[in-house]
């Protein structure tokens, strides 16, 4: 396939993805709890608490906080938008600026989508710990750029994008699971091997529950409905969509031709979208987008 080349504006948002932020917060909290446990329960000849253990705990807490703050700051710093010439094909992106090239291999690009936000069209994807947006002059260019990266003619732009938040019981389960991890860590100073076994058992469970609580991204485009989540997604092609209706302020029910209706609860605006207003809630936008896609498909069939 021939390369697509055009001049556009690239906005790099090093707004950390949910994963890196959760990892840093989790590691820091585990280090702090472990340090405090050793300061209170560590072995000592003259009692449970000694000057040495308190000094050790203080150093561990300060080091954990400093390292965490530095990493989070590095993740959240956003470079200013800059203009580049972009060349794209199935092998990846080549960004040309001031005689210097930057190559982004296709394998490093995840979650490719075309977004229209606040009247501007862009190709958005995840890479490393942040999100990159390539703003183009129009929607057609954005769709062709995304298509070139996947070896297709074009990728239709998303008509609607929302987030599905975790349920309250899942949120409570996440908190409780990490309390168990911290409890297991406090056993390390008393019995290292017992604490290690308990921590090894509880930590994977807590990580899995936490990943389940990560919000899912829901996209609607001319190709259908797409639900994207770290633990697995869902793709429903347009021909299988039958009806969509708002059931309450944050919920939508989607009838499909091949099974039971899909229920989406806890819908909210996506944090990267700046062109949405409170007058048009996420549930309403999702249902309206689905209805537009269904109506367009039926119109094509009738024609």
> Tens of pLDDT along 74-118?
777 766 777 888 888 888 888 888 778 888 888 888 889 999 887
Q: Residue 6 — very low, low, confident or very high, per pLDDT cuts 50/70/90?
A: low
Q: Where are the domains of the chain?
A: 215-303
| Average pLDDT of the segment spanning 280-291 | 92
- Would you say 234 and 253 are in contact if contact means Cβ atoms under 8 Å apart? no
* Architecture label for domain 215-303: Roll (2.30)
CA dihedral 292, 296, 302, 303 (to 10 degrees): 150
Q: What pLDDT sits at residue 219?
A: 95
What are the backbone angles phi and psi of residue 133, rounded to the nearest 5°?
A: -120, 130
- CA–CA gap between residue 198 and residue 299 (Å, rounded): 59
Q: Using DSSP bridges, classify how beta strands 262-264 and 241-248 pair: parallel, antiparallel or unpaired.
A: unpaired
Q: How far lies 192's CA from each of 43, 44, 96, 196, 207, in Å?
A: 11, 15, 54, 6, 22
Identify which has the larger pLDDT, 89 or 247: 247
Mean pLDDT, the chain, whole residue set: 84
Q: Residue 4 — very low, low, confident or very high, per pLDDT cuts 50/70/90?
A: low
| Rg, C-alpha atoms of the chain | 24
- Would you say 95 and 84 are in contact if contact means Cβ atoms under 8 Å apart? yes
**pLDDT tens digits for range 212-236:** 988 999 999 999 999 999 888 899 9
**pLDDT tens digits for range 55-79:** 777 777 888 788 888 877 777 776 6
Identify which has the larger pLDDT, 14 or 207: 207
Q: Burial code of 199-224, b = ≥16 C-beta within 10 A, e = fewer?
A: beebbeebbebbebbbbbbbbbbeeb
Q: What pLDDT sits at residue 15?
A: 67
Closest CA to 58 of 42, 78, 76, 36: 36
Quick one: tokens of 171?
């949120």
- CA–CA gap between residue 163 and residue 152 (Å, rounded): 27
Quick one: tokens of 30?
């585990």
| Average pLDDT of the segment spanning 9-36 | 75
């Amino acid at each position: 396939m021939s390369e697509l080349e055009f001049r556009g504006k690239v906005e790099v948002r090093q707004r950390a993805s949910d994963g890196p932020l959760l990892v840093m917060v989790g590691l820091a909290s585990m280090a702090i709890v472990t340090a405090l446990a050793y300061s209170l329960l560590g072995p000592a000849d003259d009692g449970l608490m000694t000057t040495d253990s308190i000094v050790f705990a203080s150093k561990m807490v300060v080091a954990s906080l400093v390292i965490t703050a530095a990493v989070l700051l590095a993740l959240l710093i956003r470079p200013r938008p800059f203009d580049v010439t972009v060349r794209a094909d199935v092998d990846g992106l080549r960004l040309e600026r001031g005689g210097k090239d930057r190559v982004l291999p296709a394998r490093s690009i995840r979650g490719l989508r075309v977004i229209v936000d606040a009247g501007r069209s862009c190709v958005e994807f995840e890479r490393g710990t942040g999100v990159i947006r390539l703003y183009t002059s129009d929607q057609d260019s954005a769709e062709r750029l995304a298509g070139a990266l996947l070896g297709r003619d074009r990728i239709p732009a998303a008509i609607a994008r929302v987030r599905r938040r975790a349920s309250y019981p899942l949120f409570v389960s996440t908190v409780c699971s990490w309390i168990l991890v911290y409890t297991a860590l406090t056993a390390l100073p008393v019995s290292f091997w017992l604490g290690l076994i308990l921590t090894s058992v509880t930590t994977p469970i807590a990580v899995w529950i936490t990943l389940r609580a990560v919000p899912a991204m829901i996209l609607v485009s001319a190709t259908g409905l797409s639900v994207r989540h770290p633990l697995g997604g869902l793709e429903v092609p347009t021909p299988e969509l039958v009806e969509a209706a708002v059931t309450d302020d944050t919920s939508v029910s989607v009838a499909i031709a091949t099974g039971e209706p899909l229920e989406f609860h806890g819908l909210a605006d996506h944090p990267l979208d700046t062109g949405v207003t409170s007058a048009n809630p996420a549930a309403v936008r999702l249902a309206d987008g689905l209805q537009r896609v269904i109506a367009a498909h039926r119109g094509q069939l009738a024609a």
